[in-house]
Structures are given as structure tokens and as C-alpha cells.
């Protein structure tokens, strides 16, 4: 009985949270003041079938400012509000799912500004399940990893072999396959072994720090 | 290290994995075989390999990796810490359908630096790039950057459509090599007195250029000569 009561409470909390999240996002963005004018990038997250606005800041520290009081995460198909890092916290201290989406949102802006085509979920699912951006004959898969973790290297090695094994063509021509890997400040050295591995499988691995 | 180049998807990853695991005999216990660093039972291993189309298998300190390079129409099978006879035995079994293109032994460090283009690799190792030729990587922004031009390096490894252009002090060439590499000639290889060439019963040519691995530029002339013999139409392209 206690368990059922707890589940109902969690569901109620999630329901209220899901209704409040969009309002909190808007309120936080409009009500925040800054020492220096940052560039605000808004990324749309689709978490547990719910779209949530997340803002990140170029120049200086990144964080989920608009969600200062919570992050969204799926729990038994419902949304749960978790404690998020406070103002000024690095994006690298957030939940990996949220972090990935935040970085993808910011990096997408960089690519789009240079005339790249960002492949949306629908296109990606149909044609290039591993690819995020396309320009001419070049296809880019974007990943972000915290190299202080323990499993990222094996996952990235597998991802490179996935990209090489699946391959892709643009207009019947073999594509230039690129893995754009964003790591935490100071993390490029740990990931450098992926560069020669990528060369072997026909994947150019470009490693850089975020932000 | 030993690198073998096969036709794409021939053998399949599953076929290669079965031969690799089978090569260790029947005495394997739980935890003896790691797939991508995880202990898995044989059934699960082959299921995952079939689904992925590539693998990274470790067993008794020997490591084997397999993966496709679809855009260049070939697959790679890499052996690390493998005795050469054991690797050759596997290559012979995998070549039963005649799809071995080439295999070679190489020195890992020499290969790494002969093919290092990204300035990050030099920065991490604390090596200077001052004397090295540089060029653009040819990618559009924001990926565009200046990289090391390795096109003059005798130990360069170049992906070509259907094969890999690279040399080693010991090499094995399958019949498919001569079908795929433009200008490559069995007769020219057999006629090269500066090589020790043996044709095996399975049709594979074994080439021995010298007994030790290529480890530096003191053998550059030999490496370039071998490259021109095996890859006559592209060896001087860089």
C-alpha cells in the first residue's frame, strides 16, 4: 500500500513538474541578468515525449540555466524532476543525456551558420542513423564524452567501427565520414588514440573541447 | 601487429569471430573471452557480432578486431599479440573463399608516426611539427584545419577503393590482390630478385623483404621500391 502511495505521489509530482517546466524555462531566461552579454542558444529537448527548452551560453561557463530548479528525466514512462546544477555549473557536471543534448544544440548552431544541413530525427532514422550533419559529400557524427569516465573509450571505438562498417553515400558517391568529438576542457589527450583508429576505418576523427 | 585486408563482408564478422574463438580450442571457460571488454558467453557473442558487423575480441591476452570500411569496399582484421603462425593459420581458413586481399606485419609505433596527420597527436606526445610539411585537411568549416602532409612518407597507409595501399617487411598477397590493385602483376612480383617470394598451395604469395620490421626511414628506399612494385599506378601519387 505504501509503495502504491509512493508511486502515485511520484506520478503527481511528475505531472505537476511537466506542466511547470516550460513556464520555468521562460521565466528563468527573461528574469536573469548577466555581467557580460553572453550568446544564448536555445535547444529543444525531447525527453519522455515532452519538449523542454534548454539554454546554453557561449563564452564562459555553460549550464542549464533555464532549468535552474530541475532537469527532466524519464521514470517508468513519466517525467521526473531532478536537482540540476546551479548557476555557473559546467555542462559537464550534468546528466549525460541532458549534456549531450545541450552540446548538440550549441554545436548545431555552429554547423548551421556554416551552411551545413542538420539531419533531424526523422531524416536520420530513415537514411543515416549515425549522422548528424551533412554538407556536400561530408557527413558528420557528433558525440560528446567526458573522458574522466570509464566506458567512453570502448563506446567510441565501437562507434567508429560502426561508422566504417555501415558507411554512407551521398548521391551514390562514398561520403567523407567525420566523427566530431567534443570533450571536457583538458580531455583531448585522453581521446587522441581515436584519431588513428578512425583513419584505419575511413573516419576522420576531429577532437575538440567544449565549450 | 598484423593487418589483414579482405573483401567487404567476405568473410562476415560472424564467420571471422567463429574462427577466431574456435582457434583457442574447446577449453575456454567463463570469462575467458571478452567482447569489447565485456565477458560474454559464446551464444551472446556471436549474436552481438552478427548484429554489429564488427568486433573486438580479447582472449588469453591476444586481441583481434574486425570491422568494415564500406566506403572503400574492404574489411580489416587486426591481430595484436598474436604469434605469426597462429594468425596465418586463421588467415588461411578465412581465405577459403579466396577473398584475402593482403596481409602484412608492421611496427605499431612506426606506423603511428608515419601516418600521424592531426596536430593533436604531436601536441599530446610533445613532438615538434616544425620540420614537417603541412596542408589543409580539405574539410569545410568548422572542421577545416591544417594537418601534416604524410604523402611523402615511405610508411604511409592509404585507403583505396577495394584495398589498402601499405607495405610491410613481411606480406601475404591473395589472388584477389592482383584483381583489385591496378597494374599489380604476379609476374613482376615473382621476377623481383630482391624479394623472397613463396607461392603457397592456397595461392597466397608470401613476400619477405627483410627479417626485421620497418621501424624508421633508413629503409625508406626499400619501402618505396616495394610500394612501386605492388601499387605501380598510385605509389608515386602520395
| A132-187: pLDDT as tens digits | 999 999 999 999 999 999 999 999 999 999 999 999 999 889 999 999 999 999 99
Collapse the DSSP code of A174 into the 3-class scheme (helix H, G, I; strand E, B; otherwise coil) and give the result.
strand
- φ, ψ of residue A78 to 5 degrees: the values are -110, 170
Calculate mean pLDDT across residues A23-52: 31
- ipTM value, please give it: 0.96
Q: What is the pLDDT of residue A40?
A: 32
Give per-residue pLDDT as tens, B106-126. Answer: 999 999 999 999 999 999 999
Give per-residue pLDDT as tens, B137-196. Answer: 999 999 999 999 999 999 999 999 999 999 999 999 999 999 999 999 999 999 999 999
Among A114, A178, A199, whose Cβ lies nearest the Cβ of B141? A114
Minimal C-alpha gap between A170 and chain B (Å)? 11
Residue A59 to residue A62: CA distance in whole angstroms = 8
Residues in contact with A178: Cβ distance below 8 Å, sequence separation at least 6, in sequence order: A138, A139, A140, A141, A203, A204, A205, A206, B139, B143
Q: What is the pLDDT of residue B98?
A: 74
**Boundaries of every domain in chain B:** 2-118+157-230, 119-149
Calculate mean pLDDT across residues B53-82: 96
Q: Is the pLDDT of residue A15 over 50?
A: no
> Do the strands A71-75 and A78-82 form a parallel or antiparallel pair, or are they unpaired?
antiparallel
Q: Residue A118 belongs to what H/E stretch?
A: strand A117-118
Residue B55 to residue B64: CA distance in whole angstroms = 8
Asked if B126 has any chain A CB less than 8 Å from its own CB, the reply is no
Place B51 in a pLDDT band, splitting at 50, 70 and 90. Answer: very high
Q: What is the pLDDT of residue A39?
A: 32
Taking CB atoms within 8 Å and a gap of at least 24, the contacts of A109-116 are A109/A41, A110/B142, A111/A135, A111/A140, A111/B142, A114/B140, A114/B141, A114/B142, A115/B140, A116/A140, A116/B140
Q: Residue A199 belongs to what H/E stretch?
A: helix A194-200
Q: Is the pLDDT of residue B1 over 70?
A: yes
Q: Is the pLDDT of residue B31 over 70?
A: yes
The mean-pLDDT minimum among A87-91, A132-136, B27-31, B77-81 falls in: A87-91
Contacts of B115 in chain A (CB under 8 A): 196, 199
Q: What is the pLDDT of residue B99?
A: 87
Asked if A109 has any chain B CB less than 8 Å from its own CB, the reply is no
Calculate mean pLDDT across residues B11-34: 89
Whole-number average pLDDT of chain A: 69
Place A194 in a pLDDT band, splitting at 50, 70 and 90. Answer: very high
Contacts of B123 in chain A (CB under 8 A): 189
Chain B interface mutation, best of A155, A192, A198, A211, highest count of B Cβ atoms under 10 Å: A192
Class of domain A115-209: alpha beta
Place B27 in a pLDDT band, splitting at 50, 70 and 90. Answer: confident
Calculate mean pLDDT across residues A85-95: 75
Q: Is the pLDDT of residue A2 over 80?
A: no
Residue A165 to residue B36, Cβ atoms within 8 A: no
- The whole model's pTM is what? 0.81
Q: What is the pLDDT of residue B124?
A: 97
**Boundaries of every domain in chain A:** 2-89, 115-209
Chain-centroid distance, C-alpha A19: 23
Q: Is the pLDDT of residue A26 over 80?
A: no
Q: What is the pLDDT of residue A16?
A: 45
The mean-pLDDT minimum among A18-22, A28-32, A190-194, B76-80 falls in: A28-32
**DSSP letter (8 states) at residue B10:** B
Whole-number average pLDDT of chain B: 95
Amino acid at each position: 500500500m505504501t509503495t502504491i502511495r509512493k508511486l502515485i505521489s511520484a506520478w503527481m509530482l511528475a505531472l505537476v513538474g511537466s506542466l511547470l517546466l516550460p513556464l520555468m524555462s521562460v521565466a528563468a531566461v527573461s528574469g536573469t541578468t548577466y555581467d557580460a552579454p553572453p550568446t544564448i542558444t536555445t535547444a529543444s529537448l525531447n525527453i519522455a515525449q515532452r519538449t523542454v527548452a534548454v539554454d546554453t551560453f557561449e563564452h564562459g561557463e555553460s549550464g542549464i540555466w533555464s532549468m535552474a530548479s530541475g532537469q527532466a528525466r524519464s521514470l517508468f514512462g513519466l517525467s521526473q524532476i531532478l536537482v540540476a546544477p546551479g548557476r555557473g555549473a559546467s555542462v559537464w557536471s550534468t546528466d549525460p543525456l541532458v549534456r549531450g543534448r545541450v552540446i548538440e544544440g550549441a554545436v548545431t548552431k555552429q554547423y548551421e551558420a556554416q551552411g551545413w544541413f542538420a539531419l533531424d530525427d526523422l531524416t536520420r532514422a530513415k537514411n543515416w542513423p549515425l549522422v548528424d550533419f551533412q554538407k556536400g559529400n561530408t557527413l558528420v557524427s557528433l558525440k560528446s564524452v567526458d573522458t574522466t569516465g570509464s566506458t567512453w573509450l570502448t563506446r567510441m571505438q565501437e562507434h567508429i567501427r560502426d561508422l566504417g562498417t555501415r558507411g554512407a553515400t551521398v548521391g551514390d558517391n562514398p561520403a567523407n565520414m567525420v566523427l566530431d568529438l567534443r570533450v571536457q576542457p583538458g580531455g583531448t589527450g585522453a581521446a587522441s588514440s581515436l584519431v588513428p583508429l578512425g583513419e584505419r576505418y575511413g573516419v576522420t576523427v576531429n577532437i575538440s573541447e567544449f565549450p | 601487429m598484423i593487418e589483414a585486408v579482405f573483401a567487404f563482408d567476405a568473410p562476415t564478422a560472424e564467420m571471422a569471430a567463429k574462427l577466431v574463438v574456435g582457434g583457442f580450442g574447446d577449453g575456454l571457460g567463463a570469462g575467458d573471452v571478452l567482447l569489447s571488454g565485456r565477458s560474454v558467453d559464446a551464444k551472446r557473442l556471436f549474436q552481438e557480432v552478427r548484429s554489429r558487423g564488427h568486433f573486438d575480441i580479447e582472449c588469453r591476452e591476444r586481441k583481434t578486431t574486425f570491422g568494415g570500411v564500406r566506403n572503400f569496399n574492404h574489411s580489416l582484421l587486426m591481430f595484436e599479440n598474436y604469434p605469426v603462425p597462429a594468425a596465418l593459420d586463421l588467415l588461411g581458413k578465412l581465405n577459403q573463399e579466396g577473398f584475402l586481399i593482403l596481409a602484412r606485419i608492421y611496427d605499431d609505433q612506426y606506423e603511428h608516426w608515419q601516418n600521424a596527420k592531426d596536430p593533436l597527436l604531436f601536441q599530446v606526445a610533445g613532438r615538434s611539427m616544425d620540420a614537417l610539411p603541412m596542408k589543409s585537411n580539405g574539410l569545410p568549416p568548422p572542421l577545416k584545419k591544417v594537418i601534416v602532409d604524410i604523402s611523402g612518407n615511405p610508411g604511409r597507409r592509404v585507403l583505396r577503393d577495394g584495398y589498402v595501399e601499405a607495405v610491410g617487411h613481411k606480406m601475404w598477397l591473395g589472388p584477389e590482390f592482383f584483381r583489385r590493385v591496378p597494374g599489380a602483376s604476379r609476374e613482376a612480383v615473382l621476377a623481383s630478385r630482391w624479394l623472397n617470394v613463396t607461392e603457397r598451395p592456397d595461392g597466397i604469395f608470401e613476400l619477405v623483404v627483410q627479417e626485421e620490421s620497418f621501424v624508421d626511414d633508413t629503409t625508406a628506399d626499400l619501402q618505396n621500391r616495394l610500394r612501386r612494385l605492388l601499387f605501380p599506378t598510385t605509389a608515386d601519387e602520395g
